[in-house]
Structure 1
Amino acid sequence: MRRRDRAGPAGSASARERIGVISGDGAYHTRGVYAASASRQAAMIVPPRRTGRPWKARMAGAGERNETVRAIKRLGRRLWKRWSGYHRRSLAEEAMSRLKRLGERLSAREPAYQVAEVQIRCAILNTFTVLGMPDTVPCA
């Protein structure tokens, strides 16, 4: 029997598991998430609460979070969402919503067949997207 390499415990980071950007809604606006993001050297795109105040600088991830609070105060929440790329999160959520409409659960039991089932669902979604995209033309 061959031994498989397993990932380390949660919170451990290796160079091959580096994360570029983490985005999420307000539920991810916690000290623990910011600390985990800082340990992985990932950028965080999470809106702070409307009543958010700057954190003490000695906390992990506080600098990035405080910069977000300052940017929202300068730009306003709506403009910050566009400027930071936060609005892209809703596109991912919409894609997952469409995928779930094809069924919440997988029918296959074997992992290889589960992968095939997900790939088929993605192919169906891609086909629907291509068929449903409007042709836009400029009007004079």
Structure 2
Amino acid sequence: MTVMDAAFDKQFGEAWNAQQCLGILGLPGVWLTIASIGEDAVGFALSRVILDEAELLLLGVSPRFRRRGIGQALLDATMENARHRGVNHLHLEVRQGNPAISLYERNGFSEVGRRADYYRGADGSLFDAFSLTRSLRRD
């Protein structure tokens, strides 16, 4: 879980811990995609399918490997895997101010909801949660 620890900035608080990630991996419809450079894991995406929809639960890239297309590759792999599982929409939730928002916007995600003051930063600051979705259809 070293890549997970590195990928989530502690200032934002509320990152998933290793036990939570390992616990969800055993559930039906859950999959993990890992990005590697050589023998080093540098990023990951944790996703699941429930009924006819997919959800991107976590996407993280180790800070020293950011801005190299790894997040895009993980998102592409997640969308393709979800399509192969027969779903037509991918949903995610992201904290206000998270730099990954621009990645999601570039990939056609749009805001469908917002939860005010949902996330609490390590310093007690409150941040909204943005609910985003996009179609996976290739029409």
Shared fold, TM over 0.5: no
Q: What TM-score comes out, normalization by structure 1 length?
A: 0.27
Greater helix percent: which structure?
1
Greater strand percent: which structure?
2
Query: Which of structures 1 and 2 has the larger relative contact order (alpha carbons within 8 angstroms, sep 6+)?
Result: 2
Q: What TM-score comes out, normalization by structure 2 length?
A: 0.27
